Amino acid sequence: MESKVAVVGAGQSKYGESVDKSVKELFLDAYIELINSVDNGLEPREINAVYIGSLGSGGFQLGNLSALMAEYVGLPGVHAVRIENACSSSGFAFIEACLAIMSGMYDVVIAGGVEKMRDVSSLKAKYWLGVSGDTEYERLAGMTFAGLYAIMANRHMHDYGTTREQLSMVAVKNHKNAFLNPKAQFQNKITLEKAMNSPMVAYPLNLFDCCPTTDGASAVLLCKAEIAKKFTDSPVYVAGFGTGTDYLALHDRETITSLKAAVLAAREAYKKAGIKPKDVDVAEVHDCFTIAEIIAYEDLGFCERGEGGKFIEEGLSSMEGEIPVNLSGGLKAKGHPIGATGTGQVYEIFNQLRKTVQKPARQVKDAEIGLTHNVGGSGGTAAVTVFKV
């Protein structure tokens, strides 16, 4: 499709445990960086609408969250909407913002997300996350998200020979990348031995196979493509996007070694962007668990079905690889503040394509096409977006 939407600014709070900051203050951090990233300046009155992704901010602010975020950053009166699609909330908020601009309704829009997850007990966090899956047949039966992805991992290992070591390689890679990301929750490298020998959570997934709960916010400024140069000389254009849904419960799906929602979303995004998977220069994918990144390689067409384990083992998703994946550290090490994750991925791709990554050692050289892949729950929803410069 012809690029009708451009990204001209982006901001993100530090991810991690922010005991001294409220949900509002986290979003303000992201908003301030967004404003400062707009090269030619931005007047708040130019912003027409705000779309905020959030699962519920720890249960503390379940209603009118978008209006609260808008008012706190000085945008009372704008069209403000909260989008909830589990972990893909702000990925969908971003696409809704694109659609609003493409419809001609608005010229300048903010898409963002926020979550504060570290203020609740582990028991409440498990309940909170569990409502993103099938409540009747999974959560109320005692299933956790680690358990669901463990089932996927076991089946993938059975069908394709994926190994426990390959799962841990994903964790090692993403921690290595997060080490260079000042915004990441875990800025520490780990060895393969440490990753493989950490405490078991749900076989075959251990502690280092699972992403953390996280406080954080992200925000992205979008506008009509034809006015992008008003804000910056180096906009990033939305080349294509796609969304998909599937059954929430694993037992209802055709397969549990692939996320149909992501396959459908990727197919649509590639078609609109006029590219093939091999054309992608850098990607941020939804690695809530290490098996999720391996499945993402396959669902996005970066490799053949069943070859995801070999893709990581051969270094094809590393910084120096064929398609660098999760240079931010991914959900695994950068962190996963549920509602903020989708636009947090856009923040990373925006900076990668503009060559404005904070630490140059994490910068992909000559990247022109980037991709984000944001999944809700265990694959009930998915949003994929392709960006070009």
Give the active site residues. Answer: 87, 336
CB 114 within 8 A of CB 337: yes
CB 119 within 8 A of CB 337: no
Tokens standing for 190? 């780990």
DSSP 340: G
Cα angle value 255/378/303 (rounded, 5°): 60
d(CA 344, CA 364): 18
Distance from the Cα of residue 83 to its chain's centroid: 15
Q: What DSSP line would sit under 304-323, residue for residue?
A: -TT-HHHHHHTTTTSTTSSS
End-to-end CA distance of the chain: give it in Å, rounded.
Answer: 14
Contacts of 52 (CB under 8 A, 6+ apart): 27, 65, 66, 69, 80, 81, 82, 83, 90, 93, 112, 113, 114, 339
